[in-house]
Structure 1
Amino acid sequence: MRVRTTVVGATALLLSAALAGPAVAAGPAKDGHAATRRAIEAVVRAGVPGVTATVKDTHGTWSTTAGVGDIRTGERRSTADRYRVGSITKTFVSTVLLQLEAEGRLSLDDTVDKWLPGVVRGHGHDGRRITVRRLLNHTSGIYDYTTDEDFGRRYFTKDGFFEHRYDTLTPEDLVAIAMKHKPDFAPGTSWKYSNTNFVLAGMVIEKVTGHSYATEITHRIITPLHLTATSLPGTRVTVPRPSSRAYSKLAETATGPTYDVTTLNPSLASSAGEMISNSADLDRFYSALLRGKLLPPGQLKEMKTAVKIDGVPNGGYGLGLLETKLTCGVHVWGHDGGIHGSTSVAVTTADGRHSLAMNFNGDWTGDAAAVVEGEFC
């Protein structure tokens, strides 16, 4: 999921996210994380209200915070903060579909129309020509419903957001918005990030299993990995405590007033970005995934088969998984995510032994890529 002032999921960790305060380390500080801490402090100086981050590596777990979780009271962020993770949801959805493939219950080369007959149809869209694989690696060409002008006015601008923030939208509603537009390209001929792809992926999970994607993610991932801070809220408008307030400009620019956007109905993101988690849980998830604890070798290889992204020479997009080659040559795998007032990144090395997850409780500024570089380089 992405908001108008946040670039997420499509640009190899080039995120835009956004009162200041010194960083506070939780647990014994390690010199190896000094660059990470400096980058996080710079993010707060740049205008992000607060940051929370957790690293897990061969030396143990290290967490830090900077800035505030509540502009009004000055309450600091917590290393245990739960937050909306936006498009990081996509890796969970893709993992479930790959598990279903491993079980022989579907093929990634099945057409969307096989499972959702007639759903992807209109203005040139044709689900008979689009495979499940093309949903997961964003080569389907399906229009991104979040870029629809009316949707943007309703949910990404000040007046629209405060009128519609508690609306309930079904996955069918979101797909119908996309079908009012022409595809961006013919299936398989290019790459473009589209949240509609993963709304459809969630619908496929339900059709294959008879259960919602939320139920399957909970049963297959959250419960086995003991991700106690992770949830799929559905239509619940609040974020469980401990958590911070979330802030947005609700505008195309980073100037102007700052608004508290903490409460909203996340059905507007659906299986493209509704999840809530915290940094420790995200580290555990991505580490388990890359270490082969959630997928057989064949499916993990498919997930890591990345499509090159135009304009991003050091990154590629697999199946709900982003690959980035950092300036020091280290490859990290993970995803970023943005939703109103929240920008998140979770990445791990290919062996799953060094992981970083972090969140900014603002969506209009902040250099997340510098934090990742600081930690791994």
Structure 2
Amino acid sequence: MKNKVTLFFLFILLGHLAIAQDIVADGIKSIAEKYNAIGIAYAVVKKNKIIKTGAIGYKNLETKESLNSENLFRIASISKSFTATALMQLVENGEISLDDDFGDLVGFPVRNPAFPDQVITLRMVLSHTSSINDANGYFNLDVINPNKSLDWRKSYNSYSPGTQYEYCNLNFNMAGAVLERLTDKRFDQYIKQQILDPLNLDAGYCVDSLDSERFAYIYEYDRELEHFKIQSAAYNPRSEEISNYELGYSTPVFSPTGGMKISVTDLAKYMAMHLNYGKYAGKRILQKKSVKTMQTKVAHKEGYGLALCEVDNFIGNKKLIGHTGSAYGLYSSMFFSPEEKFGIVVITNGAVLKYDNGHVALTKEVSNFLYNSLIEKLREVPINKGGK
């Protein structure tokens, strides 16, 4: 009798999941139409397992080739967490400290000219509290190197390091250079060796090492002309820059701050590792203490830890950890709850941009829809645990 009851509830659950498949497909299409999205890829993780991946729309708008969940996207600023994860591995090994002088690590003076006696630490750089800004740009380290540029002072804000928050891409391109100096390995190769390969992720920062047939084309919406423009620069080859590469300084070529190319499915696996405090599919990438450090706010008002931020206005008022990305017309989001053991990744390769309470409205709406359809609804399905 017990087995029959268990099977009965299993059939109910399977039936619910089958219905959910149709609801999800229709729901995502409806949201896509609302924002004129070129394509949307998504993945849902629950209790350390991917329970749903999918994609709608186009990989290539011109040819009408369909998007799928294995296509590669340049995910923009979610890339920062890969850089921080690799550096935290070195912190675990005792090779560096989060409170080390960042100038000593990067190989040239890093001091706010208004506060020359105050040390700017690795922790400050990874949490956007360094007082460094992007005013001079961030794709060449010369802009902040006093030995290379007369305008280096413009790369600093007027407040004391560690006291305020300002989001800064230059922070992470410098952090990538630090990784190279410490490991004597090229940034993209080190990330592959230490994070991607152990997790069995087919991804990377070096565009030339990836299968270009898998790239999802990225489109930016021109509001004046009211149409989408393809952004081929998102996947420009880097072979020429690499041929003249200076280890520990040319690192922005790979954009540690935003250059990861990965599918929504593999990004969900990476997210699951952080969701499970450093471990996924039997592979430990970081110790629990290190992951908690990354997830803990340094910039308390803004909610930033180390390349991960805390939000409470993305899915209801739930406390979530993660990051977003925006570049070339692509918008991405990766948010998860370590307490409730779920996470959701959403990427669009082009849409009409609208905001909702500080977040890209499309990725937020899709994430809420997926949560309500695949996380919250499943809790309503009764599961017999062998009782009367």
Q: 1:172 aligns with which of 138, 141, 153?
A: 141
> What RMSD in Å do the two structures reach over aligned CA positions?
3.1
Q: Which SS does the other structure have where 1:306 is aligned?
A: coil
Identity, in percent, stands at 24
Structure 2 partner of 1:81: 71
Does the C-alpha gap of structure 1 residues 286 and 126 become closer, same or farther in structure 2, counting only changes over 3 Å?
A: farther
Query: Which of 166, 178, 181 is the equivalent residue of 1:204?
Result: 178
Q: Say if 1:43 and 1:191 are closer, same or farther in 2 by CA, change over 3 A.
A: farther
What is the DSSP-based 3-state SS (H/G/I as helix, E as strand, rest coil) of the residue aligned with 1:101? helix
Distance 1:347 1:297 in 2: 18
**Which structure would you say has the larger Rg?**
2
Q: Contact (CA 8 Å) 1:288, 1:352: kept in 2 or not?
A: no
TM-aligned CA deviation for residue 127 of structure 1: 9.6
Question: What secondary structure, in the 3-state scheme, does the structure 2 residue paired with 1:113 have?
Answer: helix
Counterpart Cα distance in 2 of 1:175 and 1:35 = 47
User: Does the aligned pair in 1 maintain the 2:336–2:343 contact within 8 Å?
Assistant: yes
The alpha carbon displacement at 1:121 in A equals 5.2
C-alpha contact 1:41 1:66 (8 A) present in aligned 2: no
Identify if the C-alpha distance between structure 1 residues 40 and 107 changes in structure 2 by more than 3 Å, giving closer, same or farther. farther
* Equivalent position of 1:129 in the other structure: 119
Unaligned runs of 5+ in 2: 1-16, 239-251, 280-284, 354-360, 373-388
Which amino acid is the alignment partner of residue 348 of structure 1? F
Aligned residue identity for 2:338: A
Q: How many residues are treated as equivalent by the alignment?
A: 321
Matched, 1:219 2:193: yes
Partner Cα separation in structure 1 for residue 141 and residue 315 of structure 2: 42
- TM-score, normalising length from structure 2? 0.73
Report the counterpart of residue 204 of structure 2 in structure 1: 231
After TM superposition, give the deviation of residue 82 of structure 1 in Å. Answer: 0.8
The 3 A distance-change label for structure 1 pair 79 and 327 is closer
Please tell me whether residue 189 in structure 1 is matched to residue 163 in structure 2: yes
Structure 1 unpaired stretches of 5+: 1-27, 152-168
For 2:37 and 2:144, locate their aligned partners in 1 and report how far apart those are by CA, in whole Å: 33
Distance in 2, Cα, partners of 1:198 & 1:361: 23
Which residue type is aligned with residue 269 of structure 2?
A: R
Per the alignment, in what secondary structure is the counterpart of residue 53 of structure 1?
strand
Could you report, residue by residue, the CA deviation over 1:67-106 in whole angstroms, capped at 9, with x for unpaired residues? 2222222222112111101111111111111111010000
* Secondary structure in 1 matching 2:132: coil
Q: Which among 12, 15, 27 is matched to residue 38 of structure 1?
A: 27
* C-alpha spacing 1:198/1:368, structure 2 compared with 1 (3 Å): same
**2:289 counterpart SS class:** helix
Cα deviation for residue 339 of structure 1 reads: 1.9
| CA gap 1:199/1:182 in 2 versus in 1, 3 angstroms | closer
Could you say which residue in structure 2 is the equivalent of 1:108? 98
Q: Are the equivalent residues in 2 in contact too, given 1:306–1:318 (CA < 8 A)? A: yes
Given that residues 79 and 257 in structure 2 are in contact (C-alpha distance below 8 angstroms), is that contact kept between their aligned partners in structure 1? yes
Q: Does 1:323 align with 2:292?
A: no
3-state SS of paired residue (1:188): coil
Distance 1:317 1:40 in 2: 33
Give, in whole Å, the separation in 2 of the partners of 1:317 and 1:194. 12
Question: TM-score by structure 1 length?
Answer: 0.75
- Structure 2 matches for 1:290-309, cutoff 5 A? 290-292=275-277, 293=279, 294-308=285-299
Change (3 A) 1:197 1:50: same
Partner of 1:69, secondary structure, is strand
Q: How does 1:1-377 map to 2 (within 5 A)?
A: 29=18, 31=20, 34=23, 38=27, 41-58=30-47, 60-120=50-110, 124=114, 129-145=119-135, 148=136, 171-173=140-142, 175=144, 179=152, 181-184=154-157, 185-228=159-202, 230-233=203-206, 236=208, 240-249=212-221, 256-263=226-233, 264-265=235-236, 270-292=255-277, 293=279, 294-308=285-299, 316-325=303-312, 326-350=314-338, 353-362=341-350, 364-365=352-353, 367-377=362-372
